[in-house]
Amino acid sequence: MTNPFFSPSTLPYSLPPFAEVRDEHYLPAFERGMEEQLAEVAAIAANPEAATVENTLVPLEASGQLLERVANVFFNKSSADSSDFTNELEEQLAPRLAAHGDAITLDPMLYARISALYEAREAVTDAETRYLVERHHTEFTLAGAGLPDADKEKLREYNQRLSTLTTRFEKNLLADTNELAVVVDDVAELDGLGAGEISSAAAAAAERGLDGKYLVTLVLPTGHPWLAQLTNRGLRERIMTASRARGIRGNEHDNRELVLEITRLRAERARLLGFDSHAAYVTADETARTPQAVADMLGRLAPAAARNARAEQAELEAIAGHPIEAWDWAFYTEKVRTAKYDVDTAAMRPWLEAERVLRDGVFHAATKLYGVTFTERDDLVAYHPDARVFEVHDEDGTGVGLYVLDLFTRDSKRGGAWMNPLVSQNRLLQHPVVVVNNLNVPKPAAGEPSLLTFDEVTTFFHEFGHALHGLFARVTYPKFAGTNVFRDFVEFPSQVNEMWMLWPEVVTNYAVHHETGEPLPQQLIDRLHASEQFNQGFSTSEYLAAALLDQAWHRIDADDTVDDVARFEADALAAVGLNNPAVPTRYASTYFAHTFSGGYDAGYYSYIWSEALDADTVEWFTENGGLTRANGDRFRQRLLGVGGSKDPLEAFRDFRGRDARIEPLLKRRGLNQPEASR
Tell me if 199 sits within 8 A of 445, measured CB to CB: yes
Tell me if 24 sits within 8 A of 100, measured CB to CB: no
Q: Of the residues 463, 498, 569, 611, which is catalytic?
A: 463
Phi (first) and psi of residue 24, to 5 degrees: -70, -10
User: Is 463 tagged catalytic?
Assistant: yes
Nearest residue to 267 via CA among 248, 288, 256, 282: 282
How far is the C-alpha of 663 from the C-alpha of 642, rounded, in Å?
27
Question: How far from chain centre, in Å, is Cα 74?
Answer: 18
If one counts every other C-beta atom within 10 angstroms of the C-beta of residue 477, the result is: 25
Tell me if 178 sits within 8 A of 214, measured CB to CB: no
How far is the C-alpha of 75 from the C-alpha of 98, rounded, in Å?
15
In this structure, the chain runs to a length of 678
Phi (first) and psi of residue 403, to 5 degrees: -120, 125
Within 13 Å of residue 27, how many CA atoms lie on the same side as its CB? 11
How far is the C-alpha of 212 from the C-alpha of 189, rounded, in Å?
14
Tell me if 453 sits within 8 A of 225, measured CB to CB: yes
> Edge to edge, what strands does the sheet with 418-423 contain?
373-376, 387-393, 399-408, 434-441, 418-423
How far is the C-alpha of 512 from the C-alpha of 351, rounded, in Å?
5
Enumerate the β-bridge partners of residue 375. Answer: 391
How far is the C-alpha of 124 from the C-alpha of 231, rounded, in Å?
66
Nearest residue to 577 via CA among 298, 294, 303: 303
Which is it for the CA torsion 19, 20, 23, 28, positive or negative? Answer: negative
Nearest residue to 368 via CA among 473, 503, 518, 491: 503
Cα distances (angstroms) measured from residue 518 to each of 1, 15, 165, 442, 503: 54, 39, 52, 24, 18
How far is the C-alpha of 590 from the C-alpha of 579, rounded, in Å?
17
Nearest residue to 597 via CA among 249, 172, 102, 177: 172
Strands 182-184 and 373-376: unpaired
Phi (first) and psi of residue 22, to 5 degrees: -120, 160
Rounded to 5°, the CA angle 496-649-460 comes to 20
Cα distances (angstroms) measured from residue 581 to each of 75, 245, 511: 37, 16, 36
Query: Which of the 8 DSSP states describes residue 672?
Result: S
Residue 165 three-state SS: helix
How far is the C-alpha of 374 from the C-alpha of 376, rounded, in Å?
7
Nearest residue to 554 via CA among 269, 147, 272: 269
How far is the C-alpha of 242 from the C-alpha of 246, rounded, in Å?
7
Tell me if 190 sits within 8 A of 230, measured CB to CB: yes
| Burial of residue 18 (number of CB atoms within 10 Å: 0-12, 13-18, 19+) | buried
Q: Tell me the catalytic residues.
A: 463
